[in-house]
Structure 1
Amino acid sequence: MNKIPNRQAICEVLMEKAETDKDIVVLCSDSRGSASLAPFAAKYPEQFVEVGIAEQDLVSISAGLAKCGKKPFAASPACFLSTRSYEQAKIDCAYSDTNVTLVGISGGVSYGALGMSHHSAQDIAAMSAIPNMRVYLPSDRFQTAKLIEALLQDTRPAYLRVGRNAVEDIYSENDIPFVMDKATVLAEGTDVLLVACGEMVRPALDAVALLKEQGISAGLLDMYCVKPLDKEAIVDAAGKVKAVISVEEHAPFGGLGSMVSQVVGSACPRRVINMALPDAPVISGTSREVFDYYGLNAEGIAAKAAEILKEL
């Protein structure tokens, strides 16, 4: 079982690249520990900025550094980064088309026991609504590493959300079919299509196996690139099935499910179901307990797929 969280993968890539690229700068809002970036701060103190608990300053300072030719990565809990500093993300980063990578750590319900104040179930919708802002939710440590490497090569703003805990590997060190801004096809099916992002990709992949045991052919897209959305991949895969299910660790409005519904509805009408967190304060508990409670696990996804197909 993998014990390396995606946030640690981010630190490892940045530390490796910062050795030769002195323009890389990491900024934190009193979050270097929870972001797994303490090793970076210790090794490259001249390329690290601690702003304290001041998320607005975190983003604005990052934008200023970017305008000076630096490559800033600003890390803060997703629940605060996507709300307290929303205007700075909109104006200082996106409107100015500035090379800042906003890293939302402990996203979704990672801070499960701390309740709604620490959950980020709105960030996909909020950040995706900002023109010029790209939104990414990598599914495992290997894909996360590839994404960071790609972001280091461009000069546009981006929001990246990762969870707090380690997630089971989907890819391997020698097998990472990563293409920037293109969904990864993890399975092809003829009955139902699953479209998932972030930590929901693993249970969706396990659901594909459960459905196969029931004689149901399920396809799966790892939609780590929520914005820009790989519409072509969705249309191609949806056109081969009877129904589509989106799965996300997010509120039911404005996230991946809403985007998938728009694409499928306009290009290849099919029954579309969005599996997400409820439009209500989420229960307290670990991420796994929360997912199990709301059916955002392999069994719940497989059961929903089988139920929909029976209705058609």
Structure 2
Amino acid sequence: MKVIEVTHPIREDQFIQEDVAMAFGFFDGMHRGHDQVFQALEERARAGQLKKAVMTFDPHPSVVLNPERKRTDYLTPISDKIDILQHYDIDYCIVINFSSKFASVSAETFIQDYIIKNHVKEVVAGFDFTFGKYGKGNMMILQEMEDFNTTIVGKQEMDSEKISTTAIRQALKDGDLQKANEQLGYRYRIKGTVVQGEKRGRTIGFPTANVQPSDDYVFPKKGVYAVSMLLGSSNKLYRGVANVGVKPTFHDPSQAQVVIEVNLFDFNENIYGERVEVYWHHFLRPEIKFDGIDPLVEQMNKDTEQAKYLLSVDFNDDVSYNI
């Protein structure tokens, strides 16, 4: 897949030079709703014997358009999004830097410079995709164009609720991993690097890997989770318990930074500097402050037993992206 990073105005040498079917959207989460867009893209490309392309944007438009409610953390940061697109055998991925200059582009200019000049013969997007200054461009306008065909993908639902990035983000914030993972169509993951921590866990029998996220991910609700973690060096998956939070038994919650710590079962290796991926299976309990080390250790033993049981039921060594 060829990735083309564009800062407005798009240059002549950045235009796609062969006829394509192109999907448009921000696609944070690459969830089941987005999958319907990519399935439609596959069908239109095959029918027209076209190459497949995707146009997406970075950062989220709210950074420019709605700074009071800007979204700066993501389910799938741009690097993850590009990795997942590889699974759809996309030929071209255009990543538009969503800047103030790009936000001021008129709908007419967007159609001419970003669709027609890119040899787009089939446009595919969700029903709520908008473009151009003030979001004046929409899918109905594109359907009226004669230079290309337009396919509108309707609302996708699960349990009578729209599948959406917003719903998945809220589910993670609520600790509802089942809902988040079902709407995603795969297990939520956070990539990162194991860094030096306080090393307190090893003194109480629970050595942990302090995972520094590699990008601006959405953090699940503060609490304790049953997880699995993929070690990059061995490409091997291990089961464990993760804590997301500020460790209130040891720190002032108002002063401490939220961190991710993972205790792997039956594991005793030095993995500082390792690139890892944490997969989130089950929410066990909220993070709480304990009255000393002993009750904390007692609860951690209970967490471990509960996590081992839950992971024995649903653990799967195949962690590849799979809708």
Please identify which structure carries the higher helix content: 1
Structure ranking higher in strand proportion:
2
TM-score, scaled to structure 2:
0.24
Higher Cα radius of gyration? 2
Q: TM-score, normalised by structure 1?
A: 0.25
